[in-house]
Chains A and B, each alone.
Chain A
Amino acid sequence: MSASVQLHLLRPGQSATIVQIKGESALRRRFAEMGIIKGEAILMERNAPLGDPMEYFIKGYHLALRKEEAAQIEVILLGDANG
């Protein structure tokens, strides 16, 4: 099993599986509401023009997260759509 990394370290085009969600319970509750849970696949799409926040693709919709929030999500890299 490969080591997990924080979600915000993904580059555009990389996808990963969520393995752990940290942070305060209010934040994790919000994540759960939006479908960000363990085992879900997530694709990093792009950074906003000023670098932060970032756009992800999860559960069939587009989601924007700030760097500090994405850093609470631990993922295992799946693959790179760019080859």
Chain B
Amino acid sequence: MRSSSTPRELFRLDYGGKFEREIARLLASFEEINFDSGHYPKRWLAIKLLEGDVDIVERVQAMPNGESVLALAQKGAEHLKSMLGDDVDLLTADRRYGYINGVVRQSLQRPRLDRITLTDRIDDIVTHKWLGLPFFFAVMYLIFRLVIDVSSPFLDWTDAVINGPIANWITLFLNLIAAPAWMHSLVIDGIVAGVGGVLVFVPGLLILYFFLALLEDSGYMSRAAFVMDRFMRIVGLHGKSFIPMILGFGCAVPAIYATRTIASRRDRVLTALLVPLMSCSARLPVYVVFGLAFFGARAGTVIWAMYALGIVVAMVAGMVFTRTILKPDVSSAFVLELPPYRQPAIKSVLIHMWENTREFVRKAGTVIFAASFIMWLLLNMPWGVNNQRDSYFGQASNMIAPVFAPLGFGDWQTSGALVTGFIAKEIVVSSMSQIYLNGSSTAPVEPTTFTEDLASIGGGFITAGIDSGKILLSILPGVDLIPADSQSEDTALSTALREHFTPLSAMSLLVFVLLYVPCVATLGAIKHEFGTSWAVTSAIYQTAVAWVVAFVVYQGGRLLGLG
């Protein structure tokens, strides 16, 4: 755009007599003190300084003569304010919009204000006085039913593939290279059990992220903030906190970074403290395993109750924080655009699903791989240990186990699994598979050919698809395609769990897993955004709350004669 010969006359907005005189005065004093404005145009810089633009003020401060320039600009700004009766940046915004309005009026025809669009008609329902909230809760419930129920045949399928053909191939390979027995144990009982136990949940995550992406891309997410704002304020939060909270159902780490959209620091900190109480997808594996082992056909309801409990505890915690260490300061404004509804683009939904799931799979490949390896070592050291209880892991877990006894799960196996859950919640399941299934998992390898394996993988996938289709239809009222007994196919783990837990202590454990200390990555994100003291606060308060609530559930249940 630069012309070499005659520089084109630059567009210049006239800010009006008094304002222009102040700009001219400031420019003249730039000359007087020989101020070098660097690569900033002088007039632009003068206007920004009069407006008091925080970023520019900071930069000018660092320049030679900066301090005296700032002093002059401040005097000019105060003078303008006393003359024109408003803040300078508002005056300039007014002038700019005035100019824009003039241009627009001359060149653009606006749609009439009262035209009824499809968006209006949808909003008539989803933000309706009576229908709005039920619609919101129905959407949430439906999504969780879909995620849990529809994905379960695929979970079984992944489980079967990993523990069937894949484990077999690995065993055959180990036999081929004549690997020693301990290596068999490390690979099959340690790594395949650990990493596999987590990878099994990938289908569920794909479905969850699919729906979150759908909500966001369609435009419903900001309606949800609109509908929920009044509700969020009871807890001391902002309608915008709703979006990080919803993301918290996926993973707390991106959710904590998502609080950056909130203007006030106090609102951000409070949101970040409550986000980990939203039941993240890493806890889902624990719910699913225990839900299917103990609650059969009612597993979906139990899981839904966990999500609801997380929300209730977050509300109580929010009210407590609002009245104690995070009193509301100058209210951050709720000014939120409600964009027109759009049909979500498949490509962007797929990208969303892939990016989030990739994170999970990468965690399985790194953190969980390492944790499984270390777990296996701790379980098998000192070398040659026969009873896991005597291993390093058993000894350490045994020491902290009494802390959990009043909650109904005071055995060393559970306390050990919970400690490993600090690294990532989904590890709780893989730890339990390793501890409880020790030794019992090595069924004789039936000789199958490679093609037979492939055929069973493919056939299983198709069956899973059909089953999940049936379940999808049965969510509709009045349709029931599933025979009641086909619901829960027992895995080896659920049989083992039933030996160690009652339904009541299983419930208490689920509550504890829901609420206790967020994973390392979440604490890292809180530390990164708000500092160490908030990360420590988060860890301590959540663990304390988890213990108290699980205690109430277990002891209360016993008083009521359950369990």
Partner-B contacts on A (CB < 8 A): 15, 24-35, 37-39, 41, 43, 46-53, 55, 57, 60-66, 68-69, 81
Chain B residue at minimum C-beta to C-beta distance from A33: B93
Q: Which residue of A lies closest to B110 (CB)?
A: A60
The CA of A30 and the CA of B123, in the complex, are separated in Å by 25
- For the complex with contacts A29-B90, A49-B227, 20 further pairs of A-B residues with Cβ separation under 8 Å are A28-B87, A30-B263, A30-B335, A31-B335, A32-B94, A34-B335, A37-B94, A39-B101, A48-B230, A49-B132, A52-B229, A53-B230, A57-B113, A60-B110, A61-B337, A62-B119, A63-B337, A64-B226, A64-B335, A64-B337
Could you say which residues of chain B place their CB within 8 Å of the CB of A41?
113
| Nearest B residue (CB) for A56 | B338
Contact among A26, A48, A69 with B127 in the assembled complex (CB-CB below 8 Å): A48
Binary contact track B84-124/A, C-beta < 8 Å → 1, others 0: 00010110011001100100000000110110000100010
- When distances are taken between beta carbons in the complex, the residues of chain A under 8 Å from B484 are none
- A68–B89 contact, CB under 8 A? no
B343 within 8 Å of A (CB atoms): no
With CB as the reference atom, state the residue of chain A lying closest to B128. Answer: A49
Cβ of B403 < 8 Å from any Cβ of A? no
Once bound together, how far apart are the Cα atoms of A43 and B113, in whole Å?
8
Residue numbers in B under 8 Å from A55 (CB-CB): 123, 127, 226, 338
- B335 proximity list for chain A (CB < 8 A): 30-31, 34, 63-65, 69
Q: How large is the interface on B (under 10, 10 to 19, 20 to 34, 35 or more residues)?
A: 35 or more
For A25, the chain B residues whose CB sits under 8 A away are 87, 89-90
Chain A residues contacting B263 (CB-CB under 8 Å) are 30
- A47 near B93 (CB under 8 angstroms)? no
Contact flag A48-B97 (CB < 8 Å), given A29-B90, A63-B338: no
- Report the minimal beta-carbon distance from A78 to chain B, rounded to whole angstroms: 10
CA distance A51 to B336 in the complex (A): 16
Chain A residues with Cβ below 8 Å from B113 are: 15, 41, 43, 57, 81
**Contacts A28-B90, A55-B338, A63-B337 given; does A68 touch B230 at CB 8 Å:** no
> Is B333 in contact with chain A by the CB < 8 A criterion?
yes
Beyond A15-B113, A29-B90, A32-B94, whether A48 also contacts B333 by CB under 8 A is: no
Most interface-central of A24, A48, A66 (chain B CB within 10 A): A48
B337 x A34 contact (CB < 8 A): yes
Question: When the two chains form the complex, which single residue of B94, B222, B339 contacts A38, counting CB atoms closer than 8 Å?
Answer: B94
Chain A residue nearest in CB terms to B136 = A49
Distance from B384 Cβ to chain A, minimum over Cβ atoms (Å): 65
The answer, yes or no, to whether B133 is at the interface (CB within 8 Å) is yes
Min Cβ gap A19→B in Å is 13
How would you classify the secondary structure of chain A's contact residues: helix, strand, loop or mixed? Answer: mixed
Q: Are B127 and A46 in contact (CB under 8 A)?
A: yes
| 7 cross-chain CB contacts under 8 A | A28-B87, A32-B89, A37-B94, A47-B129, A50-B133, A55-B338, A62-B338
A60 touches B336 (CB 8 A): no
B265, chain A: closest CB distance, angstroms: 13
Which residue, A15, A49, A53, A55, has most C-beta atoms of chain B within 10 A?
A: A49
Contact of A27 among B129, B130, B333 (CB under 8 A): B333
Known: A37-B93, A37-B94, A48-B127. A24 touches B330 (CB 8 A): yes
Is B291 at the interface (CB under 8 A from chain A)? no
- Known contacts A55-B127, A60-B110: does B338 contact A48 (CB below 8 Å)? no
Other-chain contact of A65, B130, B231, B334 (Cβ < 8 Å): B334
Q: Does B331 contact A (CB under 8 A)?
A: yes
**Nearest neighbor of A23 in chain B, beta-carbon distance:** B333
- Can you name the residue of chain B whose Cβ is closest to the Cβ of A34? B335
Tell me whether A64 and B110 are in contact (CB under 8 A). no
Complex: A57 Cα to B340 Cα, angstroms = 12
Residues of chain A within 8 A of B226, CB atoms compared: 48, 53, 55, 64
Interface check B239, CB cutoff 8 A: yes
CA distance A52 to B172 in the complex (A): 65
A27 and B93 CA atoms in complex are apart in Å by: 13
Inter-subunit contact B334/A53 (CB<8 Å): yes
Interface residues of B in 224-241 (CB under 8 A from A): 225-227, 229-231, 239
Give every chain B residue within 8 A of A29 (Cβ-Cβ).
87, 89-90, 93
Q: How far is the CA of A31 from the CA of B86 in the complex (A)?
A: 14
For A35, what are the chain B residues with a Cβ–Cβ distance below 8 Å?
Answer: 97
Q: Which residue of A lies closest to B94 (CB)?
A: A37
Return the contact of A66 from the options B89, B222, B229, B231 (Cβ within 8 A): B229
Give B88's nearest chain A residue, CB to CB. Answer: A25
How far, in whole Å, are A65 and B98 apart by their CA atoms in the complex?
23
Q: Assess whether B337 is in contact with A62, with CB atoms less than 8 Å apart.
A: yes
Tell me which residues across on chain B come within 8 A of A62, comparing CB atoms.
119, 123, 337-340
**What are the residues of chain B within 8 A of A51 when measuring CB–CB?**
230
- Nearest CB of chain A from residue B334's CB, rounded to whole Å: 4
Residues on the A chain within 8 Å of B239, using CB? 53, 64
Q: Which of A38, A66, A81 contacts B334 (CB 8 A)?
A: A66
Scan residues 200-242 of chain B and give those whose CB is less than 8 A from a CB of chain A. Answer: 222, 225-227, 229-231, 239
Known: A48-B127, A55-B127, A81-B114. A32 touches B230 (CB 8 A): no
Question: Of all chain A residues, which has the CB nearest B101?
Answer: A39
How many Å lie between the Cα of A58 and that of B333 in the bound state? 17
B225 / chain A contacts, CB cutoff of 8 Å: 64
CA distance in complex: A47, B123 (Å): 11
B23 to chain A, nearest CB (A): 20
| Chain B residues with CB under 8 A of A48 | 127, 132, 226-227, 229-230
Contact, CB under 8 Å: A64 / B334 = yes
* Contact partners of A15 in chain B: CB under 8 A: 113
